[in-house]
């Protein structure tokens, strides 16, 4: 595949920034609520953000120097003054309001008011929680690491989570967050966002403590299937063993399969049949069909 080579040192920062935003995406959004030393609230979204530890619980986000004028941002100033922040998750219903809070209002302007969001007292820190946010994490700042002194340079803000508030409505009966109810949004490049609910959410069950066969155990005829995609082959490679000889025997006498085994075009047809079985969730059956379709199996 043809690739575009980028040397970060040779590209204008504003363009490099967009390539990074497009390539590292979607990113969760920290809706960071801070307060200056005089008690003026501040609220701004930051998508250079993630969780990096659960014990202790640590979140990290980055406030960058502006590319256009190398200025640093109010969130960083407030954090340096007070050492506190509440990181609020951003869901679909507040997405547009969140974007409004990213406007470069002067430091004395309260973005809760500008964006029409509800400030709510936190338990352990001074900055407000965003009442509408389904997950609000009260943090004390452990460390701020400056990554450079030119426009675009980040400041890693390493936060210890001291209290978490989750809307009851998004917690399911297994005491876990239901992503469909949480309905978070992620930021991509430019004006693109992604909504993490409904058909955008996929489940992948991959036990890590059972040794899956892996691609190297797939026969050549399966690995080079003209029908199966990489994801579909991975379903087969994720099995821990092939179906038994007796299971293969039973499959081979099913009328449709028996007929395909006799046809000249049988190999493709059997791979299509295997594909249907994978889509239906019958991966063992698909594996059996693929083995039967393998010319070497019959030698
Ligand atoms: C979804 C979204 C994500 C953003 N992520 C970042 C980020 O990770 N780092 C950053 O410096 N600015 C980011 N920005 C821009 C800031 O929100 C913007 O500069 C804001 O005015 C900063 O506010 P403050 O000066 O009150 O901290 C983001 C903007 C949006 C809309």
Residues 167 and 240 in one domain: no
CA 160 – ligand 1 centroid, Å: 21
Extract the tokens encoding 195: 């909504």
Pocket of ligand 1 contains residue 182 by CB under 6 Å: no
pLDDT score recorded for residue 297? 85
Q: Which of 32, 44, 94 has the most ligand 1 atoms within 8 A of CB, as the residue to mutate?
A: 44
Same domain, 149 and 230: no
> Would the CB of 225 count as within 6 Å of ligand 1?
no
Look at residues 151, 174, 200 and tell me which one is the last residue of a structural domain.
Answer: 200
What's the total number of domains in the chain?
A: 2
Find how far residue 122's CA is from the centre of its chain.
Answer: 27
**pLDDT the model gives residue 298:** 79
* Same-domain status, 227 and 257: yes
Q: Of 167, 200, 233, which closes a domain?
A: 200
**What pLDDT sits at residue 180?**
98
User: For the chain, which ranges sit under pLDDT 50?
Assistant: none
CA 102 to centroid of ligand 1, rounded, Å: 6
pLDDT, tens digit, 9 for 90 and up, residues 65-103: 999 999 999 999 999 999 999 999 999 999 999 999 999
Centre of ligand 1 from the C-alpha of residue 67, in Å: 12
Residue 192 and residue 150 share a domain: yes
Structural domain boundaries, residue 36: 8-200
**Does residue 69 sit in helix, strand or coil?**
coil
Please give the pLDDT value at position 286: 98
Q: What is the pLDDT of residue 299?
A: 76
Task: Tell me the β-bridge partners of 164.
Answer: 137
| Structural domain ending residue among the three candidates 200, 232, 254 | 200
CA of 257 to the centre of ligand 1 (A): 58
Q: What is the pLDDT of residue 265?
A: 83
In a domain, 208, yes or no: no
Question: What are the residue ranges of helices labelled H in the chain?
Answer: 13-23, 74-82, 95-100, 111-115, 179-182, 220-223, 230-237, 245-252, 255-262, 266-279, 283-293
The reply to whether 164 and 269 lie within a common domain is no
Q: Would 205 be classed as within a structural domain?
A: no
115: domain CATH number is 2.30.110.10
Residues 163-208: pLDDT tens digits? 999 999 999 999 999 999 999 999 999 999 999 999 999 999 999 9
**Position 209 in a domain:** no
- Residue labelled with tokens 């009328």: 255
Residue whose Cα lies nearest atom 20 of ligand 1: it is: 102
């Amino acid at each position: 595949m043809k690739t575009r080579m980028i040397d970060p040192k040779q590209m204008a920062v504003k363009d490099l920034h967009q390539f990074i935003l497009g390539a590292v995406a979607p990113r969760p959004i920290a809706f960071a609520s801070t307060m200056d030393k005089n008690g003026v609230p501040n609220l701004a979204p930051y998508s250079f953000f993630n969780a990096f530890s659960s014990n202790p619980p640590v979140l990290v986000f980055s406030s960058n120097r502006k590319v256009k004028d190398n200025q640093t941002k109010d969130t960083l100033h407030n954090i340096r003054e007070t050492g506190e922040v509440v990181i609020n998750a951003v869901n679909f219903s507040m997405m547009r309001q969140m974007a409004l809070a990213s406007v470069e209002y002067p430091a004395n302007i309260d973005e809760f008011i500008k964006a029409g969001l509800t400030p709510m007292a936190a338990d352990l820190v001074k900055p407000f929680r965003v009442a509408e946010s389904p997950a609000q994490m009260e943090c004390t700042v452990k460390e701020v690491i400056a990554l450079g002194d030119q426009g675009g340079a980040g400041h890693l803000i390493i936060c210890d989570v001291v209290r978490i508030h989750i809307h009851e409505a998004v917690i399911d009966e297994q005491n876990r967050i239901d992503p469909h109810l949480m309905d978070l949004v992620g930021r991509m490049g430019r004006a693109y966002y992604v909504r993490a609910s409904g058909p955008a959410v996929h489940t992948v069950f991959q036990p890590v403590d059972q040794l899956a066969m892996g691609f190297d155990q797939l026969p050549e005829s399966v690995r080079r299937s003209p029908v199966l995609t990489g994801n579909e082959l991975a379903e087969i490679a994720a099995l821990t063993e092939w179906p038994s000889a007796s299971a293969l025997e039973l499959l081979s006498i099913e009328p449709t399969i028996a007929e395909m085994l006799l046809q000249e075009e049988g190999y493709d047809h059997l791979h299509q049949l295997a594909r249907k079985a994978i889509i239906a969730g019958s991966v063992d059956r698909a594996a059996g069909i693929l083995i039967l379709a393998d010319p070497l199996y019959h030698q």
